[in-house]
Each structure stands twice: as C-alpha cells, then as structure tokens.
Amino acid sequence: MTKLRVNGIEVEIEEGASLLEAAQHLGIEIPTLCFHPGLSAYGACRLCVVELGDGRLVSACTYPAQEGLRVRTHSPRVMRARRMLIELLLSICPSSKRLQDLAAEHQVERVRFAVRDERCILCGLCVRMCAEQMMARAIGFVNRGYRRRITTPFDLRSEVCRRCGGCLYICPVCEARCQGVEAPSAVCGSCMTPAPTCPPVYEDLACYMGAAGECGTCVGGPRTLDSHSPTVAGRRVRV
C-alpha cells in the first residue's frame, strides 16, 4: 500500500494506482477527457493535471501514486491551466456538448483563439477502444504536430474494421458520428446507413453493446455456430 496526501487528506491506496484513482478514492472529482476506466491511461488531454508538492503539474491519470507525495487537485495554478486547456479545446471543437459543459463548469466564457470547427480533439479514445477492447487496430494516428489526425491505413476503408461502432460510442466530441448518411468516411459513418451495422463475423465476442446479438441488429440474430456454418478467413461465421 502507498500512503500519500491529496488536498491535505491522507489516503492509502494499492501499489501502482494512479493519482486519479487516489483522488477518486477520496471522492474528489478531477475532470478528465481522454481517460476511460476500461482503457489504458494516455495522458494526452492534460485536463486532469494536478499540482505536486514540488510545484510540478502532472496528469493525474498517468502519474503513479508514490509514498509521501503531496497532491493538490484544485490549486489556483491547476485551475488556471485547466481553463486555458478548455479554451484551446473549445477553439477546435466549439459545438461539442461535452466541451461546452466543461467550459461552463470552469467559468470559461469566451474563446480568444480563431475558431476551427474540426470535430476531433485527438484524445485517442477511439484508437485505444479499437485496439484494446475491439482487438481490431483498424484506426490510428497519422502524421504529427499540427498535422496529426486519426484515420485508417492509407485512408482506405479498413479490412479489419468490423463496423462495431465502438469508436463512435466512446468519442467525446462526436466526430465520427456527425458525418451524415452520404458523407464518405474512412473511419466509419456506417451508423447512419439503414443496413445493420454488425457484419456476421461477431461470434460472441467484442460487441460493445453487450452480449452478441442482444441489440438485434446483427445479421441473422444470435445463433450458435456449428460444424455446418461456413467459414470466412478460417473462422466459423453465422449466415
């Protein structure tokens, strides 16, 4: 167990836990955006920055709790930094409900930067969702710096994408969702098409909705595979 102090309150937490978990353990709320409990911590949006005893600001979601650490989750420096980060986020994605709510909570009342309506904040949740929960790795980051974006290899519709919709589900700013029926998109957009979203290769894994076939949109519905089922790429599939 590791003992540390968060906002002056002593907390004991298991080895390897993050500062975010330590704060949550005490019921202290730290805003997060690129963090999801079901995915690996990434530390990209920096909204969860907290101030350490030595004056450094670190992201609570990735920083490991260490013995004797002193952490302040809402110091004036932290709050000033969070407000600026939210202003930056809003300037890229002004129409996002999630960001607007964050802005309201933090009294960010104006955006002083030139607004770009990009509908993606590159938090990487969809990339991690695809890789870690859906085991697909259909999407990823390309390029770097101000040219960075998320797409499939070579911007082509990916063969490993099962159109599970996990990326849309987890997106905090709805980029992939807002493309419309006709809009061609390498990432997906297929939720807007009337055809069922799930291809018949699900078996019983990896449907974010719950058990395979539960939502009723799978082709053919849930059915147990047997030796008569046809194979696709070496795997038994439902017809």
Is 239 a residue that touches another protein (CB under 8 A)? Answer: no
Is 57 a residue that touches another protein (CB under 8 A)? Answer: yes
Candidates 84, 178, 201, 237; binder of another protein (CB under 8 A) is: 84
Of 110-118, 153-161, 192-200, 226-234, which part binds another protein (CB under 8 A)? 110-118
Pattern 37-56, binding to another protein, x per CB under 8 A?
A: ----xxxxxx--x-------
**Please, which residue, 86 or 212, has the CB nearer to another protein?**
86
Radius of gyration of the chain (CA): 21
Is 172 a residue that touches another protein (CB under 8 A)? Answer: no
**Please, which residue, 93 or 164, has the CB nearer to another protein?**
93
126-155 residues near another protein, rule: CB under 8 A: 141, 143-148
Of 3-11, 107-115, 166-174, 195-203, which part binds another protein (CB under 8 A)? 107-115
Candidates 85, 120, 161, 218; binder of another protein (CB under 8 A) is: 85
Number of chain residues interacting with another protein (CB under 8 A): 36
**Please, which residue, 118 or 203, has the CB nearer to another protein?**
118
CB atoms within 10 A of CB 110: 7
Candidates 29, 70, 97, 113; binder of another protein (CB under 8 A) is: 113
Contact 237, 231 (CB under 8 A): yes
Ordered DSSP codes for the chain: -EEEEETTEEEEE-TT-BHHHHHHHTT-----SS--TTS-----S-TTEEEETTS-EEETTTSBP-TT-EEESS-HHHHHHHHHHHHHHHHH-TT-HHHHHHHHHTT-----SPP---S-----HHHHIIIIIS-----EEES-GGG-EEE-GGGSPPTT-----HHHHH-SS-TGGGGTTT---SS--GGGSSS-S--TT-TTS--TTSSTTTTS-STT-S----TTS-EETTEE---
**Please, which residue, 26 or 122, has the CB nearer to another protein?**
122
Site for another protein, rule CB under 8 A: 41-46, 49, 57-59, 62-64, 66, 77, 80-81, 84-85, 88-89, 91-92, 112-114, 121-122, 124, 141, 143-148
